[in-house]
Structure 1
Amino acid sequence: MQRCLDALATMLANDDFSVDEPRLGMEVELNLVDDTMQPAMANAAVLEAIADPDFQTELGQFNIEINVAPKPLSANNMRALEDGLRFSLDSADARAKESGSRLAMIGMLPTLTEEHFARHWFSSNPRYELLDQQIFAARGEDIELSISGVPLHDDGNVETLNTICETILPEAACTSVQLHLQVAPSDFPSYWNAAQALSGVQIALSANSPFFAGKALWHESRIPMFEQATDTRPQELVNQGVRPRVWFGERWITSIFDLFEENSRYFPALLPVVTDEDPVEVLAAGGTPKLTELRMHNGTVYRWNRPVYDTSGGGHHIRLENRVLAAGPTVVDIMADAAFYYGTVRALVDADRPVWSQMSFDAAEENVHAAARGGFDGRLYWPEVGWVGPQELVLRRLLPLADAGLESYGVDADVRDRYLGVIEARCLARQSGSVWQRASVAARESAGDNRATALAGMLAEYLDRMHQGDPVHTWTV
């Protein structure tokens, strides 16, 4: 790791990183369900049926992931990416049905229960079981999941999840959309700081994970679930202030090297795998080091906005990976969330006075948890505004910034209007995927369904609407 950091420091000093035109890159994690809406432990069979290298395994046998080839942000490329993603997902779902499964693009699969986290449900890749073993070896004890929810019904009853897990498979319940943006290393701190400041707003707008193990929890339960399911710290280390591996961070940064160095300093390596490459020697010989150990370790520190070093075409580059968005509900919702993120971050970076110079880092972190818990009902802090609801903040201040940022990227006006119009309408309706899921389950229970039946019925309707493709703010209960 230290040799990798030394090589990275030299490369940053030489400033010879590739910087392409701004591109939208995306990964979408998916769940698999059977005809009764229960988790389908079938990713090997489904991937064989899909037979597309863009689709890959994930941690649990009920997960797969699609990697969307990056496209330039300019002109109408976002619309072309939307069409391509919808075609890929429809084709993959048709083939998955041949093996008895369906694809579900949702933040957390509501029909998952504790029985689905037994060790034999890991995907076949040995890396996953090794990661599980190492996390539990570091903890020295089982993982406790404890989340108190937001009342679902008017009676104000709060449901609470308290359970002990013997594997990290609850992490597999947390399915997301990850957005990538290649930037110059010198620009990376501004983009990372802007993305951190915006994270709470993104979560409030896109919340889509209100149920887990039969409980109505937070609007975006994915956030606390992921934080707890991969925590390598026993309680005594938590009390001592040891950093968690799912980490928002603790300060604004001035160099991308800060993040890689923090990852190395604060977190012991989990995967004891090394290569023969000496990155310093490769660099001295005029080559491009892969920095394999640094990249592997970086992948086990789960920052909500993560720095990525990668190589391609003989060169090397830096990407910012944004990880706060839940998967779903529809392709157009995902594209709208992406457009809002890329546009707003660009505008915040271009601003005369950076937003991160006007708010504390702690306030940005508090926004993440307030948004995850309350969704549109959360209260967020924003400079010059104070504490405000996400709806008012987006409609009055951030949507114009997003439009200006997308225009700076050269995005066509009709494309900007299409996606930012979805965000505007979602705010006006105050309906994210989470809001619709909760309302649907509440209505089904009021009509006499028990929780399990209501969740399965809601999910079946969700999948139908997901494939119809109308944005979630138009869905009725």
Structure 2
Amino acid sequence: MGQNIDKTQFSDQDYADFRDALNYNLRTFRALLAEPGFGEGPQSYGSELELYLVDKNAHPKPINEIILNDAKDTQLTLELNQFNLEYNFLPLVNEAAPFSKMEQQMRSALGFLDEVTARHDSRILPIGILPTLRAQDMGRDAITDLTRYHVLADALRAKRGEDFQIHIEGQDQLEMSWSDVSPEGANTSFQFHYRVSPSEFAGSYNAAQLTTPLVLALAANSPFFLGQRLWQETRIALFKQSIDYRLEDTLEKHLPARVLYGLGWVRKSIYELLAESVYLFEPILPILSDRDSQAELKAGMAPSLDELRLHQGSVWSWNRPIYDPNDGGHLRIETRAFPAGPTPANMAATAALISGFMKGLLPIIDELISGLPFRYTEQNFYRAAKYGLNAKLFWPNLKSGILEERPVIDLLRQLLPTAKRGLEELGVDASEIHKQLSLINDSLNAEMNGARWQRMMFALLINQTDELSALNELVERYYQQYQSNKPIHEWSLKL
């Protein structure tokens, strides 16, 4: 979805031709998976970080194009709304301390952006949803002036044919209609990329689906939207609803939302997920490539599969399967559920934890998912997003053969040794494992994440002032403590 798009109008024939190309790409991909040695290579990790631009009053500042032009950094890109940017970090290959290196990458980039934004009376902030965001900050005029964003926004709106409906219940209740997709841009995330061999893809992806709810509960950092106290990770509900074009009285309502957790466990390979997206979701941007994927494969090249990769970018699964033609062609799992912030230290530890789970659970993943029908894992995901560290999740007890409901904190503590073993098998240094999992353990002992800190600080501030002032002060205090790079459990809650 990051590619430049010039065309803005599409005919029925464009869509038909694009669908033919998707099926052609699928056949190529099936043949590619059967190629000996495909996708084998060194372990690598990557990340993307979406960010808010805020002014001196802690409100969004819509100057992302100005900052991009001033920064002159090819790793920096524009996001949907004019008050957001995204930084794309270089992949880390065969690093002994990859997560510390990732933390350093983030700190360096954020420090550089601090300097750039300061020249424009603004600041950069990693946070899932900015608590001071107002309705007047959004709308069609807030969307970044790039063709691909306007085409995407228009396509989603046209498919729905009426306003998007957003309903989220938490401590407060939000009920709103919105005419465009700009509320989707209120959500900023930390997206982590984990390279995986084709032979381990199914098990690793299932492990990611199984444990993402646990990690999300610990990483939650988005408890406010439009001043309302909603879910611990409100992004999950807001993203899904803000671009859901299905209507209650149409057949489409029986199809899955384009923002989805998944439809079942993977049985054999990544092919199932890519084929599923082609069969279930209509193309939004039917941009045809001039490259022939099967000719590329016959020539010994990693096929580009341009149409298939573009289509995958318009299906927003929370754990996204990725085929990348670079480095001879390889597979990745992109975890998309985790929010931006609170600090690089926290985000690096999140990446370490989910990596440890994806690798460490491989020997028993089939047994675990046999005792947990997929719909219970999907429920776990939404429970974790709503309740954070207070969530109770379904989990199979392999000893008793009983499906239990367990506090998420207890499950995380129980599975830390599994994460440790997985990181060891990935070749991560012992000192790095100790550093990252100690941070996780300390956060569990303190029972603290970004969402809980925000809600607790707001509760203290609201006793001294009005709601708008309390939200402004909350963002200021968040900003000051984020600057320290201390993990969230070390942040002060004193006025």
TM-score bracket for the superposition, by shorter chain length: over 0.9
Secondary structure at the aligned position of 2:304 is classed as: coil
Residue 131 (structure 1) shift? 0.4
Output one character per residue of 1:343-394: Cα deviation in whole Å (capped at 9) or x when no partner.
1111111337542222110111000111111111111111117211111111
Secondary structure at the aligned position of 1:383 is classed as: strand
Q: Distance in 1 between matches of 2:253 and 2:166?
A: 20
* 2:70 aligned residue: 49
* 1:426 aligned residue: 443
Is contact 2:270–2:321 with CA below 8 Å preserved after alignment? yes
Output one character per residue of 1:304-334: Cα deviation in whole Å (capped at 9) or x when no partner.
1111111224x21111111111110001001
2:420 equivalent to 1:403: yes
Question: What aligned pairs does 1:58-207 form with structure 2 within 5 A after superposition?
Answer: 58-72=79-93, 74-150=95-171, 159-207=172-220
Match of 1:331 among 336, 344, 359: 344
Q: Distance in 2 between matches of 1:338 and 1:352?
A: 19
Residue 412 (structure 1) shift? 1.5
Residue 73 (structure 1) shift? 5.6
Residue 241 (structure 1) shift? 1.6
Q: Distance in 1 between matches of 2:416 and 2:250?
A: 42
Is contact 2:190–2:340 with CA below 8 Å preserved after alignment? yes
2:403 equivalent to 1:394: no
Q: Distance in 2 between matches of 1:27 and 1:398?
A: 26
Q: Distance in 1 between matches of 2:156 and 2:150?
A: 10
* 2:15 aligned residue: none
Secondary structure at the aligned position of 2:34 is classed as: helix
Q: Distance in 2 between matches of 1:460 and 1:250?
A: 41
Larger CA deviation: 371-380 vs 43-52: 43-52
Q: State the AA in 2 paired with 1:461.
A: R
Larger CA deviation: 454-463 vs 71-80: 71-80
Match of 1:244 among 228, 239, 257: 257
* 1:218 aligned residue: 231
Q: State the AA in 1 paired with 2:348.
A: M
* 1:371 aligned residue: 384
Residue 81 (structure 1) shift? 2.7
% same residue: 35
2:473 equivalent to 1:457: yes
Q: Distance in 1 between matches of 2:250 and 2:490?
A: 46
Alignment TM-score, normalising by the size of structure 2 = 0.91
Output one character per residue of 1:137-190: Cα deviation in whole Å (capped at 9) or x when no partner.
11111101110113xxxxxxxx11111111111111111111111112222111
Q: Distance in 1 between matches of 2:345 and 2:82?
A: 27
Residue 77 (structure 1) shift? 3.3
Q: Distance in 2 between matches of 1:323 and 1:232?
A: 21
* 1:416 aligned residue: 433
Larger CA deviation: 316-325 vs 65-74: 65-74
Q: Taking structure 1 as reference, are residues 454 and 73 closer, same or farther at Cα in structure 2, changes over 3 Å only? A: farther
* 1:155 aligned residue: none
Output one character per residue of 1:106-152: Cα deviation in whole Å (capped at 9) or x when no partner.
011111122222111111221001001111111111101110113xx
Residue 235 (structure 1) shift? 1.8
Alignment TM-score, normalising by the size of structure 1 = 0.95
2:323 equivalent to 1:309: yes
Larger CA deviation: 47-56 vs 261-270: 47-56
Q: Distance in 2 between matches of 1:442 and 1:460?
A: 15
For structure 2, the residue ranges without an aligned partner over 5 or more in a row are 1-21, 398-402
Q: Taking structure 1 as reference, are residues 15 and 305 closer, same or farther at Cα in structure 2, changes over 3 Å only? A: farther
Q: Distance in 2 between matches of 1:258 and 1:11?
A: 14
For structure 1, the residue ranges without an aligned partner over 5 or more in a row are 151-158
Q: How many residue pairs get matched?
A: 466
Q: State the AA in 2 paired with 1:387.
A: E
Q: State the AA in 1 paired with 2:285.
A: L
Output one character per residue of 1:270-325: Cα deviation in whole Å (capped at 9) or x when no partner.
01211222222332344332111111110010101111111224x21111111111
2:297 equivalent to 1:283: yes
2:459 equivalent to 1:442: yes
* 1:154 aligned residue: none
Q: Distance in 2 between matches of 1:194 and 1:284?
A: 34
Is contact 1:104–1:463 with CA below 8 Å preserved after alignment? yes
Residue 17 (structure 1) shift? 2.3
2:463 equivalent to 1:468: no
Is contact 1:249–1:303 with CA below 8 Å preserved after alignment? yes
Is contact 1:141–1:234 with CA below 8 Å preserved after alignment? no
Output one character per residue of 1:426-475: Cα deviation in whole Å (capped at 9) or x when no partner.
1111110000000111111112x222111111001101111111100111
What value does the CA root-mean-square deviation take over the aligned residues?
1.5
Is contact 2:246–2:252 with CA below 8 Å preserved after alignment? no
Q: Distance in 1 between matches of 2:151 and 2:79?
A: 14
Q: Taking structure 1 as reference, are residues 140 and 387 closer, same or farther at Cα in structure 2, changes over 3 Å only? A: same
Q: Distance in 2 between matches of 1:233 and 1:131?
A: 16
* 2:286 aligned residue: 272
Q: Taking structure 1 as reference, are residues 144 and 82 closer, same or farther at Cα in structure 2, changes over 3 Å only? A: same
Output one character per residue of 1:241-289: Cα deviation in whole Å (capped at 9) or x when no partner.
2111001111111221111111000000001211222222332344332
Q: Distance in 1 between matches of 2:203 and 2:366?
A: 11
Is contact 1:18–1:184 with CA below 8 Å preserved after alignment? yes
Is contact 2:58–2:132 with CA below 8 Å preserved after alignment? yes
Q: State the AA in 2 paired with 1:407.
A: E
